[in-house]
Structure 1
Amino acid sequence: MVNHKNKQTDSKNGRQGGTERRKSKRLWIIILLLMVGGTAIVLSGWMRTPLSTDAERASSTFTVREDDLVITVTESGNIKAQESTDIMCEVEGRGVEIASIVPEGTVITPEDVAKGKILCQLNAAELQDTYNRELIDFSAAKANYLGAQEAHLIQKKQNESDIAAAQLAVEFGLMDLQNYLGEKASQKLVDEESRDPNVVIEIATLLGLLDDPNNLGGEASQMLKQYQNNILLAEGQLEKTTDVLTGTQKLHDANYASDLDLKSAQLDVNRFRIQKESAVEALRLYKLYSFPKQTKQFLSDYHEAKRELDRTVARTRSELAQAQARLESTEASFNLQKSHVAKLERQIAACIIRAPSPGIIVYGTSADWHQRREDPIEVGDMVRRGQKIFTIPNSNVMGVELRVHESSVNKVMPGLDVTVTVEAHPDLAFHGKVVKIAPLPDPQQGWLDPGVKLYTTYVTIEGSHEVLKPGMSAKVEILVEQLHNVKIVPVQIVENRAGKKFCYVATDSGPQEREVVTGAFNNTFVEIVSGLQVGEKVLLSPPQGIEREPASETKKPRQPSQEDKKPQDNVEEGGESLEEPAPDSDVSTTS
């Protein structure tokens, strides 16, 4: 409008030169009026700033929706080889000289490992001399050991023969006893002596065996029957001759028999009477002397054979123990010499160090910066047992060592998937898993991290990657949980007050405070378990002028203060104050 009027004025000034000064005054008046109007507009806008801010806040809302919620923990760490091989000096003694060694930084390939590439050689001349001397002692110990083995074997065979002969004697002794007395009677005597080895078998006991013909058997039974049969025959003949003598006497008295016939009959009676008496006496002598003697003899022979068996077993056991002791002594000497020789062989073999695994050669002195600079490993140095010569980290199995803050350590568990990026190659992403979390926090390092609790965590990276080097800085994103189709809102929407959580829902009647129950959350969104419905609009920040009630079950009505009773100029039509009250001390935003 101003430019248009200026153009009209210029055209009129061109046509009417006389009225130029009057038109100029009018222009300045218009410009002054425009300046005053602009100033009034600016002042009016400045005075209504709280109202516009509250309106903007009322219009800044988020619609509750169902979506996937990814919970992650992100920490930084360093690339570290998950597998590394430490090559130590295994040669014992005061030390051994390095004869040759590969340069530090040499790359060991799988082909080098397969071919057995030599990495370091130690001087083994002194060990070889000792080995030759030990071989001579080893040969002598081996000969003694083999001789003791043969002697032990011979002694075992001899013992078996002696014991077998003694057992056979016991068996024969029992068979002789059973042959004489029978199985039942012999077993009865054997059992009686077995119960008490010092018992003396009485004659009455032996005679009791004769009185019981059912128990007695064998030769003794046959002899008893023979004696008894002799008595019976003698008695029969005596009875017969006695009858003949009686008949002959009657015939003699009747003069039918001669004196010779009578005398002959008398002689037959006397002969068979004596024969009977002899048979009876023979039976008595057998019972009193022959039977007990033979029985005790066979029983004694049986028990003597058993005692000889015991002595044979004891003697052979002693002789075998002596042979065993000689064998063990020579075996111990042989094994000792053998271990000395084997140890020297291992020591000599340990003087040649071959590539055990692929990787990069790192000298053992490189871990100590001062030693690496002042006294690095080189040819001619002396190394001792247990001293680290090389470390070969395996670049095919890499991982990350990181430290997780105590606020997130309970979320991290072994087996969770991770994504790793390194600063050297930020465009590359590597995948892996959590393998281990330290059970205790790292020791605090004084003023560097006072009160901070960090837990060392180990992550393995899947696959082999040539671009990864030990010591590289890495960023690890741990996938803790991935929820699907859950209600979410931004984390700044939720307000924490007195242990409860609230947010403000935009309704037709104005903002409405709503208590909610939250679940999992990340740096951007939080899960709403209950309290909100999908599609509801929630304010991104608490509205101004709303009195926040204490989060308790019983809400008391707010009593108006003295200032509330005063007339207020900065009040909207709804009666809400346009000025933002100071936040309560128990209100915090969930992050």
Structure 2
Amino acid sequence: MNHQTLPKSSRNRTVSRLGLSWIGMLFGLAAVSGCAALAWNFYNPGESEGQSLTNVIVTPVIHNRFEHRVLAEGEVESSSNVDIRCEVKGKGSGYSTTILWLIPEGTFVQPGEKLIEFESAALREEEVQQRIIYEQARAAKIQTELAFESAKIAIDEYINGTFKQELQTVEAEIVVAEENLRRAEDYARYSEKMAQKGYVTPVQLEADQFAVTNAKLNLDASRTKKMVLENFTKKKTLKLLESDLGTAEAKMLAQQSSFKLEEDQLKEIQANIANCVVYAPSAGQVVYANETDRRGSTELLIEEGLSVRERQVIIRLPDPDQMQVRVKVKESRVGLMEIGQEARLTMDALHGMELYGNVTKVDAIPIPSYYSNVKEYAVNVSIDNPSQSLKPGMSAQVAILVNAEENAFQVPVQSVKQIGRDHFVCLKTPRGPEVRKVQLGSHNDQYVVIRKGVKDSDEVVMNPLPFLEDTFREKRIDEVIPSAIASEKGERGKGGKAGKAGKAGRPKAGEKSGESDTLAAAPANRTPQAMLSRLDADGDGSLSSEEVPAPLQARFTELDKNGNGKLETAELKGLPAKRKPNGAERTSPENIAQAPESNKPAGERSLRGQ
């Protein structure tokens, strides 16, 4: 046989081709293994990749009584105070009196003990002047009362005395006139007889006849006088006397009123002088009624030398058996307040002693404030078991119970994260960290109740965010330009370029253009397109059951939506992405982790911020 010897250069090229073929096979196997691992990671989100529980803080799930309490601070006061006011009345709106002496604050007093003394020198001088005016008014009153009594007596005197006397006089005159007339008529008849006999002269007869006429006139005058006395003089005199009586009565009443006013004013001055010294009506501890303005700073400090107005509260005597705490509750929590809710109270001054009470009042109007936009409402909490050491003005911390559950599963609020409408925790398991969806119940500032998803033996990671990032890395959504996600449907996003056209990228009948109904992965080497390009051995733009990795073969039928025996790009994009009402996409956990807390969407913030 003739053996043809190859040149040396040809032998070298042959060896090089063989070496490159082996190297290419190794790289191909590595690529297939990587794609298989990627696919397994993509379709098994319950386990986190690249994260270890080393140096991670975990805490066990608590299975115990859950309490949701609203914490608030306030001051101790009495719900039944005896207010000691300034009872010194002033003249005019600008009148005030000065505190001359004041019992020290905090003093325990008994009934009748002296509390306050006000300045009284000006009142005593005013009392002297008023007493002079009072005596003058009293003298005038007495004089008018006597005049009134005299007027009444004058009327009785005239009716029962003067008038009867005058009537009797007139009646006597009438009798006399009648008698004179009778005598005159007798003399006249006698004279006529004697004149016929010539014994009486004509002149004498004429004189006797004139005497008869004169007697008649006198009788008529007396009778007229009686008629005038009875019908006119009596009435006129009575009217005059009654007028004098009315005038005297009016003057008397006027003087009596004037005297009463002067007397009342004198008594008021004397009462003011008496009110200048204030005594304790009941036993208690003295608390000054210092006033604060709406900004919370002291506006009025009760002290000696202070000018105070009428009815101003100077001292309060609280009832030590009826104490309460008046706390301020923010408007975000006031809706949880109800009358009768149980409360636990502590005071620093009592060295941690716990007291108990109930909500007795919730104000309907916020406390006025000029320096803050945060509204606060006043809530009164009674103290059922007040201590003897409890004093008004002490600072108190109040925990008001608004909700309680027995045998509730609880985890710290920072161990729960919200993605869209779902909540997740990360559990420590023998297989490593496991992200689990949970159903939440009530929560307070520290713990949240888990209705479903955990059990007694579970331990949760305090900061699950890194594990959530890995779990949802393939499912995160581009929030900046949701419509710019390149899909094989050939659609264009905002400001983006057309996606790579292909057999799987063309829109199908009934599909809407311009919408993305699936979740897109942000990294270029983890997108369904990249996965398809690496695993598509025959280059037909789809994956057969022989081309997919072993972890995906079990789910091949589930993922093959159109039942054509092949997985296309649209079928590799995973579950559909739920949209918000305004059409915006959800934010991915990675974007949440990278964004500041204040910039995160409300749905993706931690429960602590709710």
Place the TM-score, normalised by the shorter chain, in its bin.
0.3 to 0.5
Q: Which gives a bigger RCO, structure 1 or 2 (Cα 8 Å, sep 6+)?
A: 1
TM-score by length of 2: 0.44
Relative to its length, the structure with more helix (as a share) is 1
TM-score by length of 1: 0.45
